[in-house]
Amino acid sequence: MTRSLLEIDDLDPARLTRILDEAERGRKDPASIPKPLTGRGVAAVFEKPSARTRTSFEMAVVALGGHAVVLQGVEVGMGTRESVADVARTLAGFTCVIAARVFDHLSLVEMTDAVDVPIVNLLSDRAHPLQALADLLTLRDRFGSVEGRRLAYIGDGNNVAASLAYAAALSGLELVIASPSGFELPDPIIEGARNLGGSVEQVSDPYDAARGADALYTDVWTSMGQEDERAARLASFAGYTIDDAMLAVADPGACFLHCLPAHRGEEVAASVIDGPASLVWEQAANRLHVARAALVDLLEEG
């Protein structure tokens, strides 16, 4: 049975820890990185624009000795020019892994059902697992262990928040999410994370979430494809900006995370993201290391 990575809960705690350990080991000793992709190719399909995800994933493939073939969504025409399953079957004939950044998470599920090579989620409307792995690695770098630490996610209960909820549950991280009404993380995701043993709390007051937290995290208020909602979203998220006043109620040693791109003056103040508490650049760099480690895991286990 081939194992894919569509969401963090495809992993168990031991496998998640193994990926983080491999990411840390390869980062410290690049010469020891294995080359399981030597002479092999990986297909990466992008229905949405990408900077960090595409670059980190391509460089991860290079680090493992392989070659990434990047295809834009308009070139492939998944679901329009040909079916998602037919695209996956074709690409599986050329490559040993298929990765995709898609609008609809069900496209990834359809790919997984159609082929026996691993499928990697590079972002969907439901999940962003490689981002969550990079977040955990960054917090582990900062605190040594994330178990028992309190992470406050303040903003939209979106795909990033969903993957964080599962990542927190599998790692012992305590997660509290503060979102305005109508933008909360869906109840099935919270229940799913709690069923994994996670401590996940949802509140409406961002200061309640931030108070005493070891880390504050946010994402843009208007993601790709939501541009028409921008004015309404800015109004709904008023008061949720992570600024110096909100950082001040967190633990004195608290750090700040953001998955980027960031809109200074909206979801975060420039003084926070560019200040001493910010770990966003370490967090971005860790995307490479976790992508490489996740590929090693999939190739070993698939």
Residue linked to tokens 């020019």? 81
- Is 287 a known active-site residue? yes
Give the active site residue among 101, 150, 233, 292.
Answer: 101
Pinpoint the alpha helices (H) of the chain.
13-28, 52-63, 73-76, 84-92, 105-114, 129-143, 159-171, 187-195, 206-210, 230-236, 244-248, 270-273, 280-301
- Residues 35, 62: contact at Cβ < 8 Å? no
- Is 255 a known active-site residue? no
Give the active site residue among 96, 131, 156, 297.
Answer: 131
- Is 101 a known active-site residue? yes
Give the active site residue among 27, 52, 54, 128.
Answer: 128
Please give the distance of CA 48 from its chain centroid, rounded to a whole number: 15
**Assigned token pair, 86:** 């037919």
Give the active site residue among 142, 149, 287, 292.
Answer: 287
Closest C-alpha among 300, 297, 299, 293 to residue 26: 293
Q: How far is CA 45 from CA 73, 126, 177, in A?
A: 6, 17, 31
- Is 140 a known active-site residue? no
Residues with a known catalytic role: 101, 128, 131, 219, 259, 287
